A = this chain, B = another copy of it.
Amino acid sequence: MKTKRMGAQTVQPERPPVICAAASVVGKKEGDGPLRERFDAVNQDSYFGTKSWEKAESAMLKQCLELACQKADLAPESLDYVLSGDLLNQCAGSAYAMRESGAPYFGLYGACSTMAESLSLAAMLIDGGYADRCAALTSSHFCSAERQYRFPLEYGGVRTPTAQWTVTGSGALIVAADGKGPKVTAVTTGKIVDAGIRDVSNMGAAMAPAAYDTLKAHFADTGRSPDFYDMIVTGDLGQIGHAVVTDFFRRDGVDLRHNYTDCGLLIFDREKQDVHAGGSGCGCSAAVLAGHLMKLLTDGQIRRLLFAATGALMSPTASMQGESIPGICHAVAIEMEGGAT
Contact = CB atoms under 8 A, between A and B. Distances in A.
B95 A326 contact: yes
Interface stretch (A64-72, A105-113, A234-242): A105-113
A340 interface: no
A315 interface: yes
B106 A189 contact: yes
A322 to B, nearest CB: 9
A105 B129 CA distance: 22
Interface in A71-127: 80-81, 85, 87-92, 95-96, 98-99, 101-111, 117, 120-121, 124-125, 127
Given A104-B189, A107-B117, A88 B317 contact: yes
A80 to B, nearest CB: 8
A148 B192 CA distance: 24
Interface in A1-52: 1, 3-5, 8-9, 11, 14, 51-52
A103 B217 CA distance: 12
Interface residues of A, number: 62
A161 interface: no
A128 interface: yes
A106 B90 contact: no
B4 A89 contact: no
A318 B109 CA distance: 18
Contact of A130 (B5, B90, B106, B110): B5
A313 interface: yes
- The complex is assembled from copies of this chain, and their number is 2
A316 B88 CA distance: 11
A90 B92 contact: no
B55 A95 contact: no
Given A323-B96, A326-B99, A105 B191 contact: yes
A190 interface: yes
A191 B92 contact: no
B101 A85 contact: no
Contacts of A103: 191
A89 B317 contact: yes
Contact of A321 (B55, B99, B128): B55
Contacts of A8: 104
Contacts of A85: 107, 109
Given A107-B117, A117-B107, A192 B99 contact: yes
Interface of A: 1, 3-5, 8-9, 11, 14, 51-52, 54-55, 80-81, 85, 87-92, 95-96, 98-99, 101-111, 117, 120-121, 124-125, 127-131, 148, 189-192, 194, 313-318, 321, 323, 326, 328
Q: Which 3 A-B pairs have the closest CB atoms?
A: A128-B128, A95-B313, A104-B189
10 contacts: A90-B313, A91-B313, A95-B314, A98-B192, A105-B189, A105-B328, A106-B108, A108-B109, A124-B128, A148-B317
